[in-house]
Amino acid sequence: MSASAAIYGLAGEALTPDEKAFFADADPWGFIVFARNLDRPRQIARLCDSLRDCVGRDAPIFIDQEGGRVQRLKAPTWRAAPPAARFGELFDREPEAALEAVRLNHRLIGKELRDVGVDADCAPVVDLAVPGADAVIGDRAFHADPAAVAALATAALEGLKDQGVAGVIKHIPGHGRADADSHHDLPVVRADAETLFGTDFAAFAGVAGAPMAMTAHVVYAAIDPDHCATVSREVIGTIIRGHMGFDGLLMSDDLSMKALEGGMRRRTEDALSAGCDVVLHCNGEMAEMIEIAHAAPALKGEALRRAEAAEAARGTPAELDVEATTARLDALFDDAGLRRASA
């Protein structure tokens, strides 16, 4: 029997007996870890081993390690990676140098992740930098230009893959111009369809080789005024799968975010029936995970095919000289007259 169509978080730095029993029974496709779960490298590696032991297979383990404000492995134990916007600044001066810098930066991120047992990164952000929008994206975006964002995001995916880490592009089909933070409210994008197809949607459509994508809990009034993307058949079927041609694994953003309505069972059913392949639940609340488990079926059909392809995308890490890679990354910024990446 295949794994269930869910990714779960956990409460602390080690599994409780109840979590072990639940994960063994629910058999989620993957897990996600946050700062509350992470202390030192050896502890994280043990935790990843114990999560995989629960389900008896090499389940993908996810993290949000973008750099900048969103970085679960933090300095000084780990490198403080720059936010995406820094690479956009470099792109405006030296596009080829920026693509190389993004690739190098994500190789370094990927190595740090694989060294502790994490092999899937909820990055890169493919949302656009849009003046006047809610600050939840801000400098997490590479650039305002969709072609630049697509090129930089593709380079980021290549860097992660070099180190055996599968990337997750987010937040499809575009969170950049949203008017609220979906952690707290339901954002609505009121731009017309022509604008969306030429900007936000174009950025995602231009990304090559993404094995996974995470949906946006955002309403696009010109496409489906009644449902956010995560639970919209129109957005997922017509825009993400159709217009963008995305055929990778599609996961929901965190079901516990306040942008969604109803209980966890309803949220799970709505996301999966709209076209998500798996649902994501992050806060580690056992009662909520049990509710999701009652609604998340075993992966099958196209969802299972995409999940297997995403697992295969992790690959084997290449050899990496961290010192030389860091020095080259800094030099690319220095040569362009910008503050170095490690500063």
CA 55 to chain centre: 22
The pLDDT score that the predictor gives to residue 135 is 86
Active-site hit among 18, 25, 183, 335: 183
Active-site hit among 127, 253, 270, 277: 253
**Rg from Cα positions in the chain:** 19
- The vertex-144 CA angle with 143 and 149, nearest 5°, equals 50
Residue 262, classed as helix, strand or coil, is coil
Q: HSE on the CB side for 124, CA within 13 Å?
A: 39
Is residue 183 part of the annotated active site? The answer reads: yes
User: Which DSSP string corresponds to 241-256?
Assistant: IIIS---SEEEEEETT
Is residue 227 part of the annotated active site? The answer reads: no
Characterize the bridge pairing of strands 212-215 and 219-220: unpaired
- Domains recognised in the chain with CATH numbers: 4-336 (3.20.20.300)
pLDDT in tens, the chain (343 residues): 589 999 999 999 999 999 999 999 999 999 999 999 999 999 999 999 999 999 999 999 999 999 999 999 999 999 999 999 999 999 999 999 999 999 999 999 999 999 999 999 999 999 999 998 888 899 999 999 999 999 999 999 999 999 999 999 999 999 999 877 667 678 899 999 999 999 999 999 999 999 999 999 999 999 999 999 999 999 999 999 999 999 999 999 999 988 788 999 999 999 999 999 999 999 999 999 999 999 999 999 999 999 999 999 999 999 999 999 999 999 999 999 998 787 6
The pLDDT score that the predictor gives to residue 181 is 67
Within the chain, how many helices (H) and strands (E) appear?
12, 12
- Contact indicator for 29, 299 with CB cutoff of 8 Å: yes
The pLDDT score that the predictor gives to residue 184 is 66
d(CA 324, CA 42): 25
